[in-house]
Structure 1
Amino acid sequence: MDRRTFLGATGAAALLAGTPLSHLIKPAEPSRLPSVVRPEDIEQVEAAATVLAGWDHHYGGGGIVRTAAEAQLRWASALLELPCPDTLRAGLFAAAARLGMVVGAADFDAHAHQDARRVFAFAAACAEEAGQWHLRAKVYSYRARQAVWLGDCDSGLTYAELGLAHENRLTPTERAMLHTAKARALAKAGEVQATLRAVGQADEAFAQARPGEDPPWMAYYDAAQHAGDTGHALYDLVAVGYRPDTAADRLRTAVEGHTEAYVRSRTFSRSKLASLTMSTGDPHEAATIGHQALDEVVKLHSRRATDDMRQLASLAAVHRTTSEAAKLRDRIKETIKT
């Protein structure tokens, strides 16, 4: 039986004719919550957070990642309102906090900033309810990064310092992450010496890192991530006269060190390296790096990554008489239209 005959015989052709396909899969009976929270429910929330975090790092926070993450968070938040044995309560809130920070990160990457703020606040409250200082630290790191991205350096600094409260309870990797967040806030504010002190504190903490002691969600913060984050902070100091070579070295280390699991992070560092080279170095080299960054950006669903490309295009426009820079600018404008 050929395909057309099969569709006619099953009635599928009639269903498809003139009907939006999304209507065909709308559930008539939504999934039911359990009557009481069970250990397996908590395990499923934790597993969802792990999978979604991996997708977010590899594909960016927009598109299917954010859509899937929001649905999972609705389920997890509903579990918080169910009867829960006392022995499971802390674990339930910790799992919700972990999933919340993943969803907030996806919202942030998709420029859904109001949603990100709301979800990060939810995640912070859940982490504190669970007495989970490690999760709390990570959530405040995200809140600091979002505030700095939006130009609110004071709030970014405050969030980083809140994350560092009782830092003796945190691992060296977590302290490095938060000192780096602090450095990025100070750099955006143009505070050169304070930024350099914060970078130094971050380096000192990271030198003591023992990955086996870190919680699983900190696995992303390796040598490449540390180099990239500190490189971003130093990049912002170049605008106020700080030498570019240190920032370039760190960004280059990040690009070379990031694996395929962290494509978005590699793209951020590569695009910043291209922008730094375009503004302070060889525009021919910058164009080569920029094309490599754009090759990765087009595969992501990340509004932050496309913003970096627009900044690079603006810097390339200064070198309009350099053909390689002009071609890069034209390609970015043609590729990133919204």
Structure 2
Amino acid sequence: MHDALATWHMGRVIYAYRTHPYHGNPLAQDTVARWLGLSQSQLSRLEVGIAPEQLSKLIHWAEALKIPGELLWFKLPPRNVDTLDEVNRHGFLRAAATVTLVPGTLLELISTLRSTPVPATVGQEEIEEIRTAAKQISSWDAADGRGLVREAVLAQLRYAVRLLDANATPRDKAELRSAVGFLSHTAGFMAFDRYDHEDARAMFELAQGCAEECGDWNLRAKVLSSLARQSIWTGDLKDGLKSAEEAFDRSDRLTATERAMLHTTKARALAKLGRVQAALTEIGQADEEFAHCRPEIDPAWMKYYDLAQHSGDTGHALFDLAIGGHFASEAQSRLTAAVNGHSDAYLRSRAISGIKLSSLVMAVGDPQEAASIATHALKDAKHLRSHRAADDLRDLHRLASQRIELPEVAQLTDRIKGLVAV
């Protein structure tokens, strides 16, 4: 409950309440929906969609669940607790959220705090602070992706953008734009992972603008790759392919690792478009480039791209071909290497590759083996706040539901329903 309340997302709070072990068995969506004055489908969308912001609705739902005001991120109007049922629900939520969050009264107090003033002149110290913030926040996001991390990076980004108007030497001004672009890309990918697609695109475009203005071809390639991945994920395959191809401009200035990354991005788009041979060609070129990687010369934002990441990215591209009857064994081998190679520092990547591997085996292999693979992936996924991972879990649930006569698979579908609304 504390984790859910910390996201400032009422849908997640409701889901955490509804599925809390305190109740014994999860409360049905239609039951809780009636309490909130919603339909079951409306509650389902609320739990997995963008965080609602309309205060009147937030107050109504918080009052319906009897959430103590001191645990909320907004103020409730005064009310009395009357019935025994209300007392019990109120007591549960107070106990479940063992750490008290910032109450409305404290929000009023901190609203008077002044923003950090922007220095008249920016130099290497400020530039390094932005780079350090981007690296640290990126590592937090890769391992978890919680709402508070996103708020932290947005605050950092707002301040960093204000620094662009300060005085600096031409060299420092170029490095400052590159650092701000790095931070903006980090924020953009976090927004993409949470399906805040408009915010993600705006931040990617800011990052691209910074990269192009200071002539940072490496950063530009990374941003365009992420724009391509977002377009591919949302189904705009041609636009995704266009962004990936555009990223190859001045590829002679990119490292082998970056070129490998771009080839895998193109392969994903081509595989989803059903262009089998073209996708295989890109994967082959990605493998060739990766064989010549020199991590010591890669920019900071490419440090994540190791053998596990390369195996996962190419495995994801092959997944779409494997579902269509091509190269299932190779896709399984690469996704397995990704799962085994990712450390806890890249929990999200490991979970997503594990879910994809289970889905592949469920679709074209042994469903019982798929259920066993999923057991490990779900252990990772339960710690995430990734909407991409949640959608992959729904795909796995859909595939598993076709073999529900097997006890292991039936148990898997139940466990998935405990994590996401399906």
TM-score normalised by length of structure 2: 0.74
Give the aligned partner of residue 80 of structure 1: 164
Tell me how far apart the structure 2 counterparts of residues 63 and 307 of structure 1 sit (CA, whole Å).
18
Tell me how far apart the structure 2 counterparts of residues 291 and 26 of structure 1 sit (CA, whole Å).
45
Give the aligned partner of residue 126 of structure 1: 210
Give the aligned partner of residue 220 of structure 2: 136
Pairing 1:202–2:261 present:
no
Deviation (angstroms), 1:70: 0.9
Give the aligned partner of residue 36 of structure 1: 121
Q: Is the 8 A contact 2:260 2:289 kept in 1?
A: yes
AA aligned to 1:35 is A
Give the aligned partner of residue 327 of structure 2: 243
Tell me how far apart the structure 2 counterparts of residues 77 and 143 of structure 1 sit (CA, whole Å).
21
Give the aligned partner of residue 382 of structure 2: 298
Deviation (angstroms), 1:81: 2.0
Deviation (angstroms), 1:37: 1.8
Give the aligned partner of residue 230 of structure 1: 314
Please point out which of 341, 346, 349 is paired with 1:257: 341
Secondary structure of the 1:90 match is: helix
Tell me how far apart the structure 2 counterparts of residues 99 and 27 of structure 1 sit (CA, whole Å).
27
Q: Is the 8 A contact 2:207 2:223 kept in 1?
A: yes
Tell me how far apart the structure 1 counterparts of residues 420 and 135 of structure 2 sit (CA, whole Å).
30
Secondary structure of the 2:168 match is: coil
Deviation (angstroms), 1:30: 2.1
Pairing 1:52–2:128 present:
no
Tell me how far apart the structure 2 counterparts of residues 176 and 313 of structure 1 sit (CA, whole Å).
32
Tell me how far apart the structure 1 counterparts of residues 405 and 120 of structure 2 sit (CA, whole Å).
69
AA aligned to 1:316 is A
Pairing 1:23–2:108 present:
yes
Q: Is the 8 A contact 1:228 1:254 kept in 2?
A: yes
Tell me how far apart the structure 2 counterparts of residues 19 and 253 of structure 1 sit (CA, whole Å).
48
Tell me how far apart the structure 1 counterparts of residues 299 and 342 of structure 2 sit (CA, whole Å).
20
Q: Is the 8 A contact 2:323 2:360 kept in 1?
A: no
Give the aligned partner of residue 27 of structure 2: none
AA aligned to 2:366 is D
Give the aligned partner of residue 107 of structure 1: 191
Give the aligned partner of residue 295 of structure 2: 211
AA aligned to 2:346 is Y
Please point out which of 155, 158, 182 is paired with 1:71: 155
Give the aligned partner of residue 187 of structure 1: 271
Q: Is the 8 A contact 1:151 1:188 kept in 2?
A: no
Deviation (angstroms), 1:334: 2.3
Give the aligned partner of residue 61 of structure 2: none
Residues 150-196 of structure 1: CA deviation (Å, up to 9, x unaligned): 11111111111111111111111000000000000101111101100
Deviation (angstroms), 1:282: 1.0
Tell me how far apart the structure 1 counterparts of residues 390 and 314 of structure 2 sit (CA, whole Å).
21
Residues 91-142 of structure 1: CA deviation (Å, up to 9, x unaligned): 1101011101100110001110011011101101101111111111111111
Q: Is the 8 A contact 2:352 2:389 kept in 1?
A: yes
AA aligned to 1:99 is L
Give the aligned partner of residue 238 of structure 2: 154
Pairing 1:284–2:368 present:
yes
TM-score normalised by length of structure 1: 0.92
Moved more, 27-36 or 278-287: 27-36
Secondary structure of the 1:31 match is: coil
Secondary structure of the 1:318 match is: helix
Tell me how far apart the structure 1 counterparts of residues 300 and 349 of structure 2 sit (CA, whole Å).
18
Tell me how far apart the structure 1 counterparts of residues 338 and 367 of structure 2 sit (CA, whole Å).
21
Tell me how far apart the structure 2 counterparts of residues 38 and 171 of structure 1 sit (CA, whole Å).
27
Cα gap change, 1:293 to 1:86, in 2 (>3 Å): same
Aligned residues: 321
Tell me how far apart the structure 1 counterparts of residues 154 and 399 of structure 2 sit (CA, whole Å).
36
Secondary structure of the 2:141 match is: helix
Deviation (angstroms), 1:249: 0.2
Secondary structure of the 2:351 match is: helix
Please point out which of 263, 273, 277 is paired with 2:357: 273
Moved more, 327-336 or 81-90: 81-90
Tell me how far apart the structure 1 counterparts of residues 340 and 173 of structure 2 sit (CA, whole Å).
42
Deviation (angstroms), 1:26: 3.5
Secondary structure of the 2:345 match is: helix
Give the aligned partner of residue 327 of structure 1: 411
Cα gap change, 1:135 to 1:29, in 2 (>3 Å): same
Q: Is the 8 A contact 1:180 1:229 kept in 2?
A: yes
AA aligned to 1:265 is S
Q: Which runs of 5+ in 2 are unaligned?
A: 1-100
Question: What is the alpha-carbon root mean square deviation over aligned residues?
Answer: 1.5
Give the aligned partner of residue 397 of structure 2: 313
Q: Is the 8 A contact 1:173 1:205 kept in 2?
A: yes
